[in-house]
Chains A and B, each alone.
Chain A
């Protein structure tokens, strides 16, 4: 079991990478590898080293290849790293390809029977007899398959100097309460560790050293963060239809709801969750619920938004609050259901026919997934309109470090809703009269007693009194007011975040590109002497800071994860005078964005 090194050049070149490398684990989906992968990631996290974990999984339930990428980085870079430093090959089917893509000098730990070491002579090979170790350590043969993956965690812990106490704790936390499973998995990890201690020569290339950079932090996925946001946002009606990568958002919300929104005495809930027959119906339910005064939401992905579009237009035009969370995946069509993309930016901004413009929020972190989701309910009710929270698979389903979320202290903003008492004071209620000049009219809720305030909601042309009208002045007045209302929202949506000042050119990005952009800025500055200010857009309508940023920079590199530069299109739509300043830096090969792509493209522009 001696590691076989390739050419000596590799060994010379290698210096120790401490707390700064990436690991990829290749397994088969449905093989229980998830627990092992998470354990390894969380053990590094528990060692105080910033880490991120990305699951590259197939659109399939069982038996297809899946990869898990862990990046440890002492500077806190959590974007995907292009090159893998440690490859763990557990899947015979993909092993050959898995090692082919490695750069010279990478370490490869593999299941011994795969005999991979003949494939290349420029890698550092560590064969591990997993079957043998699992047989010796686990008395129950039928559980071998389940715990086999945990062996590699122990082996990796040993070779990387990860404290086994942290591994044990990571296992215990993940399998919370299931004592037998905890013990079995801890034993398997220990067996891996022990085997490596006696059989594997120490390596000095990759090491984890205890640090204190993760203290007080959590690791969470964006879907859970959004679900928490919805819970604390006071959602009362949730309608959905399962679709990757958004399903876990609602499923998590259902779990939270069972724990925290049910009266234990009566078993009755304050949060209705209804699984509909399709996305059209889901949209219909949340429009109906929003109309009747509930805080309503759905979570879906691109194909769902396509189906919901007719209802979204109705919500926009009839002015009904509702929240649409779009966890974007790769389109068009069914596309790549388990791969990330920012391909629905224009779809969400202008969903439905005719002139529509929607309030969109673009969270770029776990805290923002939480915060923007609960704020979206305030915005929806304040502006009486569909509000989109646009995340993506990378944010939604991957594992991100985060500060714990701050409790939303602010009281809910239920918007301009007239109660029976207020209606009694009103001389002459007209549902669509812009009394305040901000484009937002007062509404009433069905069921309000008193005999005043009833009106007829319609998607057809209407006047101030909500009566059907084909008069040009009514139509134009209304559609112009809706635009005014959209502009009013500028003062309420999250402002963009600016980093840096005074550079000639700048970077503009949004959403899940943020970690890669931050890393790219450092690389550009440190390796290429290029300093670029960075503005992260967090909402539509764009606020004046966005315009100022573009005005103040000669060239603005707009970073996006789609082919058609969709955010740049929106920027050109709102700021046509700056059209030519916008240069698109795009990444859309279905992988999560990485810093190097951005560095290369920006360097090419700046030449």
Chain B
């Protein structure tokens, strides 16, 4: 997809309008590569920066909202709890475009309960889980996504079963579950675009190596290890709603999924028997691949329909935050009526 003018998107903004402060992460950190794609995608998709709420918990990954979209509203909250903050913000103002940047510690340990319940409620948000198998910010302890047998830098071996955010999300009925790799910008780019087109919770688990604490040979989340095991499920293409007429869907064995806003995601299967619209089949395939040491990446599961938080809450169209007093404060007659019951 190319914007109308090479360096302006459809809002007339340059890519520079989507950057943030300079990153203070370790050079080479996977999280920075994710940040780059968020900037790229937000620009290409023409997201209105002022409508974006970018939230996070605590961790190196949770610092990243500072590094993109400086004219969006940022909220670096408390460890593992961005999901609830986002749920509140989404209720207060349903017109916001929500993005959460989180880590594997943030999401799979301290914050797992909130993530689980956010998925149940189908809160509209692109949830990016920057997954490095360790707690980067507290200097490299194992996280709950560390594989059995993976080692820490100083040699400790993980013996606990990992929690896979993707199969967990699928189990919970999340309507958009993807896995990617910070070393595969092309795939991540397309998945992010599709995630923004999704109405409810879109979870992307992005394997994002921690170069400082978890990039050694005996780690299963090092660049080299992930590259070796990465098995992309399909070649992806994304056609945003505003570019429908210009793009031709390649013929052949490509499939497509349409989003409610009219955007389309096309994918040409690299692994033929994988059907991302079949939840049970997908779950089985991901589990089997994991058992064989393979890391399936791509769109693991998609179900674009399904009521979101807003549908379920049956909120008025106007953001609650902006309602006039006359709409939120009933009149004196109502008080009279209520009090009558207590006489």
Structural contact, B92 and A289, CB atoms closer than 8 A: yes
- In Å, the complex CA distance between A173 and B313 comes to 33
B322 contacts the other chain (CB 8 A)? yes
Structural contact, A447 and B51, CB atoms closer than 8 A: yes
Residue of B nearest to A412 (CB): B325
Complex interface: chain A residues within 8 A of B325 (CB): 234, 411-412
Selected contact of A454 from candidates B73, B88, B338, CB within 8 Å = B73
Complex interface: chain A residues within 8 A of B334 (CB): 260
Selected contact of B317 from candidates A173, A268, A272, CB within 8 Å = A268
- Contact (A405, B339) CB under 8 Å given A236-B320, A451-B50: yes
Complex interface: chain B residues within 8 A of A271 (CB): 320, 328
The residues in A between 358 and 414 inclusive whose CB is less than 8 angstroms from any CB of B are 404-405, 407-408, 411-412
Selected contact of B335 from candidates A217, A228, A270, A447, CB within 8 Å = A228
- Contact (A272, B342) CB under 8 Å given A285-B85, A292-B53: no
Structural contact, A407 and B85, CB atoms closer than 8 A: no
A492 contacts the other chain (CB 8 A)? no
Structural contact, A284 and B316, CB atoms closer than 8 A: no
Structural contact, A314 and B329, CB atoms closer than 8 A: no
B247 contacts the other chain (CB 8 A)? no
Structural contact, B88 and A296, CB atoms closer than 8 A: yes
- Contact (A218, B328) CB under 8 Å given A269-B316, A293-B93: no
Complex interface: chain A residues within 8 A of B278 (CB): none
B96 contacts the other chain (CB 8 A)? yes
Structural contact, A446 and B89, CB atoms closer than 8 A: yes
- Contact (A218, B342) CB under 8 Å given A234-B325, A281-B113, A294-B88: yes
B117 contacts the other chain (CB 8 A)? yes
B70 contacts the other chain (CB 8 A)? yes
Selected contact of A457 from candidates B75, B90, B114, CB within 8 Å = B75
B315 contacts the other chain (CB 8 A)? yes
Residue of A nearest to B71 (CB): A454
- Contact (A291, B314) CB under 8 Å given A281-B113, A446-B73, A454-B50: no
List the one stretch of B35-43, B76-84, B285-293 in contact with chain A.
B76-84
Structural contact, A295 and B88, CB atoms closer than 8 A: no
A18 contacts the other chain (CB 8 A)? no
Structural contact, A288 and B50, CB atoms closer than 8 A: no
A432 contacts the other chain (CB 8 A)? no
Complex interface: chain A residues within 8 A of B85 (CB): 284-285, 287-288, 291
Q: How far is the CB of B93 from chain A (nearest CB, A)?
A: 5
A507 contacts the other chain (CB 8 A)? no
Selected contact of B339 from candidates A218, A233, A411, A412, CB within 8 Å = A218
Structural contact, A293 and B315, CB atoms closer than 8 A: no
Selected contact of B84 from candidates A236, A270, A284, CB within 8 Å = A284
Structural contact, A468 and B74, CB atoms closer than 8 A: no
Selected contact of B315 from candidates A173, A218, A269, A285, CB within 8 Å = A269
Residue of B nearest to A233 (CB): B329
Structural contact, A219 and B342, CB atoms closer than 8 A: yes
Q: How far is the CB of B74 from chain A (nearest CB, A)?
A: 4
Structural contact, A292 and B84, CB atoms closer than 8 A: no
Q: How far is the CB of A266 from chain B (nearest CB, A)?
A: 7
B66 contacts the other chain (CB 8 A)? yes
Complex interface: chain A residues within 8 A of B121 (CB): 274
B330 contacts the other chain (CB 8 A)? yes
Structural contact, A270 and B342, CB atoms closer than 8 A: no
- Contact (A237, B320) CB under 8 Å given A291-B75, A447-B51: yes
Structural contact, B73 and A457, CB atoms closer than 8 A: yes
B9 contacts the other chain (CB 8 A)? no
- Contact (A218, B343) CB under 8 Å given A272-B315, A274-B313: yes
Structural contact, A294 and B114, CB atoms closer than 8 A: no
- In Å, the complex CA distance between A272 and B87 comes to 11
Structural contact, A292 and B321, CB atoms closer than 8 A: yes
Residue of B nearest to A408 (CB): B329
Residue of A nearest to B338 (CB): A228
Complex interface: chain A residues within 8 A of B83 (CB): 281, 284
Complex interface: chain B residues within 8 A of A289 (CB): 88-89, 91-92, 320-321
Structural contact, B330 and A261, CB atoms closer than 8 A: yes
Structural contact, A281 and B320, CB atoms closer than 8 A: no
Complex interface: chain B residues within 8 A of A287 (CB): 77, 84-85, 88
Complex interface: chain B residues within 8 A of A269 (CB): 313-316
Structural contact, B342 and A220, CB atoms closer than 8 A: yes
- In Å, the complex CA distance between A233 and B323 comes to 13
A239 contacts the other chain (CB 8 A)? yes
Q: How far is the CB of A33 from chain B (nearest CB, A)?
A: 20
- Contact (A274, B91) CB under 8 Å given A287-B85, A454-B72, A468-B66: yes
Cβ proximity bits A444-460 to B, threshold 8 Å, 1 near / 0 not: 01111111001111111
A564 contacts the other chain (CB 8 A)? no
B86 contacts the other chain (CB 8 A)? yes
Complex interface: chain B residues within 8 A of A285 (CB): 84-85, 87-88, 91
Q: How far is the CB of A136 from chain B (nearest CB, A)?
A: 34
Q: How far is the CB of B290 from chain A (nearest CB, A)?
A: 28
Structural contact, A232 and B335, CB atoms closer than 8 A: yes
A354 contacts the other chain (CB 8 A)? no
Selected contact of A407 from candidates B70, B332, B341, CB within 8 Å = B332
Q: How far is the CB of A466 from chain B (nearest CB, A)?
A: 9
- Contact (A288, B335) CB under 8 Å given A268-B315, A311-B78: no
- In Å, the complex CA distance between A114 and B323 comes to 61
- In Å, the complex CA distance between A380 and B83 comes to 23
Residue of B nearest to A277 (CB): B117
Structural contact, B88 and A256, CB atoms closer than 8 A: no
Cβ proximity bits A514-551 to B, threshold 8 Å, 1 near / 0 not: 00000000000000000000000000000000000000
- In Å, the complex CA distance between A63 and B88 comes to 39
Residue of A nearest to B327 (CB): A270
A276 contacts the other chain (CB 8 A)? yes
- In Å, the complex CA distance between A270 and B341 comes to 23
The residues in A between 230 and 279 inclusive whose CB is less than 8 angstroms from any CB of B are 231-237, 239, 256, 260-261, 263, 266-272, 274, 276-278
Which of A176, A287, A288, A459 lies at the interface centre, i.e. has the most chain B CB atoms within 10 A of its CB? A288
Structural contact, A236 and B328, CB atoms closer than 8 A: yes
Selected contact of A294 from candidates B71, B86, B92, CB within 8 Å = B92
A286 contacts the other chain (CB 8 A)? yes
Residue of B nearest to A295 (CB): B328
Complex interface: chain A residues within 8 A of B114 (CB): 277, 280-281, 284
Residue of A nearest to B65 (CB): A456
Complex interface: chain A residues within 8 A of B316 (CB): 263, 266, 268-270
B159 contacts the other chain (CB 8 A)? no
Selected contact of A277 from candidates B86, B113, B323, B341, CB within 8 Å = B113
- Contact (A291, B88) CB under 8 Å given A234-B329, A269-B313, A454-B49: yes
Selected contact of B329 from candidates A239, A276, A311, A412, CB within 8 Å = A412
Q: How far is the CB of B326 from chain A (nearest CB, A)?
A: 10
Selected contact of B88 from candidates A239, A268, A459, A460, CB within 8 Å = A239
Structural contact, A280 and B84, CB atoms closer than 8 A: yes
Which of B85, B93, B323 lies at the interface centre, i.e. has the most chain A CB atoms within 10 A of its CB? B85
- In Å, the complex CA distance between A220 and B86 comes to 36
A-B pairs, top 10 by smallest CB distance, nearest first, are A284-B84, A288-B88, A293-B321, A294-B92, A288-B85, A289-B88, A234-B328, A292-B92, A446-B73, A285-B88
What are 5 A-B interface contacts by the 8 Å CB criterion?
A: A269-B315, A274-B87, A288-B88, A293-B92, A294-B91
Told that A284-B81, A446-B96, A454-B74 touch, could you supply 13 new A-B pairs with CB distance under 8 A? A218-B343, A232-B335, A234-B328, A236-B321, A237-B91, A237-B92, A239-B84, A284-B114, A286-B88, A288-B75, A291-B85, A412-B325, A451-B49
